[in-house]
Amino acid sequence: MPRRAARVPVAPKRRAAEIRAAAAKVFAERGYHNATTQDIAEVLGIRQASLYYYIPTKEAALEAVCLDGAEGYMTRAAAIQRGPGDAAHKLAALLREHLEPLRDRADFVRVFLRERRHLPDASRRRIGRHARRYERIVEQVLKEGARRGEFRRGLDCRMAALAAIGMCNAAAAWYGREPEAPLERISGAFAQLLLEGVSRAQPKPAARRNRANPRRRPDHAER
């Protein structure tokens, strides 16, 4: 009788990553409350009992998925903040990197945005700390731009940071369904909208000012 080929063991880190990806897929498609650990095991083609070696509960699986997404955002944002370029360049890069996971990690993004509210309080606070640190990075880039004169004086950097993040998060709801809207176009349009909103106002040409105020005579007529 021929021998059955021995099953090659999967490295623990690799298996853990596969389980998080499977959990993200199941939660994104079914929602947290409608999903089970059996669903996750079936995606992987393993027994449910084997799954418990890595994630003891469905709540633990949800926290692992959310934490994976949050840490990825933090790592990329911190690298951009420390890197070269002016504030406008960094802000555009932050928007681009915020949207980039929609290309191949959309399940993680959607679970983080829609399902993390189902986490227990302690888990939600842990995830929330990552989200707040990310918000501070975006806000600090805006503050640096305002301090250096790239952005307009009096800019509400906190509100601008929240608006930028909210705009990018909203794209997860419609990305892939909007015709002719690849990520490059979306990130470019978002960067233009935001930078035009925070940049210093350009002075109007003198001729335009005179037309706006017809009572004011040209300089040469005042002599």
Q: Closest Cα partner for 139 from 107, 117, 162?
A: 162
- Amino acid letter, residue 88: A
pLDDT of residue 201: 63
pLDDT of residue 204: 54
Give the Cα separation of 52 and 54 in Å (integer): 5
Q: From residue 192, give the alpha-carbon distance in Å to each of 2, 96, 138, 219.
A: 65, 12, 16, 37
- The CATH number assigned to the domain with range 11-58 reads 1.10.10.60
Per-residue pLDDT of the chain (223 residues; tens, 9 = 90+): 444 444 445 567 888 999 999 999 999 999 999 999 999 999 999 999 989 888 999 999 999 999 998 888 999 999 999 999 999 999 999 999 999 999 999 999 999 999 999 999 999 999 999 999 999 999 999 999 999 999 998 999 999 999 999 999 999 999 999 889 999 999 999 999 999 999 876 555 554 444 445 454 444 444 3
List Cβ neighbours of 142 (8 Å cut-off, separation of 6 or more): 87, 91, 151, 155, 157, 160, 161, 198
Give the Cα separation of 122 and 142 in Å (integer): 31
Same fold for the domain at 11-58 and the one at 67-198? no
Q: Closest Cα partner for 186 from 163, 165, 167?
A: 167
Give the Cα separation of 85 and 159 in Å (integer): 23
DSSP secondary structure letter of residue 85: S
Give the Cα separation of 67 and 112 in Å (integer): 8
Phi, psi (degrees; rounded to nearest 5) at 126: -65, -45
Buried b (16+ CB within 10 A) or exposed e, 115-125: bbebbeeebee
Give the Cα separation of 70 and 64 in Å (integer): 10
In the chain, what are the domain boundaries?
Answer: 11-58, 67-198
For 26, counting Cβ atoms within 10 Å of its Cβ (0-12 exposed, 13-18 middle, 19+ buried), the class is buried
pLDDT of residue 11: 64
Pick the CATH number of 67-198 from 3.40.50.740, 1.10.10.1400, 1.10.357.10, 1.10.10.10: 1.10.357.10
Give the Cα separation of 192 and 120 in Å (integer): 38
Strand partners, 151: 199
